[in-house]
Structure 1
Amino acid sequence: MKNKYVVLDFETTGVNRYHNDEVVQVAIVNQDDEVLINELCRPKHRFSWPSAQRIHGISPLMVKDKLCFESYIDRIIEIFDNSEFIVCYNIAFEQGMLKNYGIDISKYVFKDPMKDFAYIYGERGYHGGYKWQSLSTCAKYFGYNFAAHDALEDVKATRYCFEQIEAYKNGKLEKSYLNKWKLLFEPLVIEQGKKYYEDNLVDVIYYGGKQIVASVKEDITHMISIEFNKNSIKKIVCDCPNASSGNKCKHMAAVLFKISE
């Protein structure tokens, strides 16, 4: 039976997809979360990778008796050939590694939820475009908990996030996702915002179909703007110094408490 799609993730000896880094773990699941591959792999040319090991925890000892990644290439190609498309979070890395191992990726369709999530999350970069967000941030946004930097955990999280993003794009997300904003804030910031809200320091100036403008009275009054897109928060900004560096601030939290009444 043909897969609608599969999700691929690698853990590697480093982050250089253009040269000599090698795969130490590969995992693939399909659209039903069925595990198709989950294998540790022994590199052929690298004998230690301390920096990468600190991230994913895979040591040379753990893979010394494992097969090399090349042993799984035929199986991976068979899975790809039996799938309509392939999903990877931050797809350029996986594509680069596949090319390094001689796999022709030109005949496959790839989709990267990181690009769509950057728009949904709405954080602007220095040059005005939307900033890429990590898989951990994406999963947290949609309320999914997982142990990052294990290939199997990562593909399961990616599959879940991909489904949520597709639902968002099709206008099928529940409005309750608007109330999951707390997942984006540090606990202390939430408590500070709640205090401002409870002290009646929040005034909603404008509440339209796609935008809210509000003020929070402190020693200086701060202005907050929230833009909505379908059933989610598209963009939230505040004029306070803390928010100017891209952080989620207590004034934003206060306004979100107010509109969640």
Structure 2
Amino acid sequence: MKEYIFVDTETTGLNAETDELLSISIIDHYGRCIFNSLVKPENKKSWDEAERINGISAEMVMKAPKFRHLKPVLSKLFQGKHVVAYNMAFDASFLGKTLRNASSLHCCMRAFAEYFGEIDPNGQDFKLKKLVFAVNECNPDFKFNSHTSLGDSLATREVWLRLMRYKSIAKKYGA
């Protein structure tokens, strides 16, 4: 059985070109937290809209390490690992080169979309679902703090391990 690690980030916004990380959490295959840190942005001083969603204020990250100081630690944690994020494209756009030596990158959101099977209105792909929806479908008894990197990492693990029970999904997305 392949062992995975699960990562989630919270950010000042949705654009990796202009926004910055606010928190990063990594959970191992067994549900243990192996990394959890707030991150102090280099340039952004406020992020009102993101703060309303993730609850992370400028005051909370004032004494946190900057991402550039966390890069070596993160790179080492990802090295040789099979890394899963709920929206890998988004998280990878912020984590950048720290993921370059991972064995593989997996998107739980895309795997869940195919598992759930709802076709997107454009008819080209499966409709992507929010993590809260995916968790509720996979295990309605699982409780977590959404929009926190730690809670979302744990929730991603819950959904992913459930999806890997289905051979067709595991073969396509977990390989």
What displacement does 1:119 show? Answer: 1.7
1:44 and 2:39 equivalent?
A: no
Question: Quick one: distance in 2 between partners of 1:104 and 1:165?
Answer: 23
Supply the RMSD in Å over aligned alpha carbons.
Answer: 1.8
- What is aligned with 1:248? none
- What is aligned with 1:232? none
Question: Quick one: distance in 2 between partners of 1:104 and 1:158?
Answer: 18
SS of residue in 2 equivalent to 1:52: helix
Match of 2:93 among 73, 96, 102: 96
Match of 1:72 among 63, 66, 70: 70
What displacement does 1:169 show? Answer: 3.0
What displacement does 1:155 show? Answer: 0.3
Q: Which runs of 4+ in 1 moved over 2 A?
A: 102-108, 168-171
Identity of aligned residues (%): 29
The answer (yes or no) to whether the contact 2:78–2:102 under 8 Å persists in 1 is no
Amino acid across the alignment from 1:164: R
1:137 and 2:133 equivalent?
A: yes
The count of corresponding residues between Structure 1 and Structure 2 is: 165
Question: Quick one: distance in 1 between partners of 2:80 and 2:103?
Answer: 10
What displacement does 1:113 show? Answer: 1.5
Question: Quick one: distance in 2 between partners of 1:160 and 1:79?
Answer: 20
Pick the structure with greater CA Rg.
1
Question: Quick one: distance in 1 between partners of 2:157 and 2:92?
Answer: 17
Q: Deviations over 1:159-209 (max 9, x none)?
A: 0110000013379xxxxxxxxxxxxxxxxxxxxxxxxxxxxxxxxxxxxxx
- What is aligned with 1:10? 9
Structure 2: gaps spanning 5 or more residues: 170-175
- What is aligned with 1:226? none
Structure 1: gaps spanning 5 or more residues: 172-261
Check 1:53–1:22 CA distance in 2 against 1; reply closer, same or farther (3 A cut). Answer: same
- What is aligned with 2:173? none
Question: Quick one: distance in 2 between partners of 1:104 and 1:113?
Answer: 16
Bigger relative contact order, structure 1 or 2, given CA contacts below 8 A and separation 6+?
A: 2
1:105 and 2:104 equivalent?
A: no
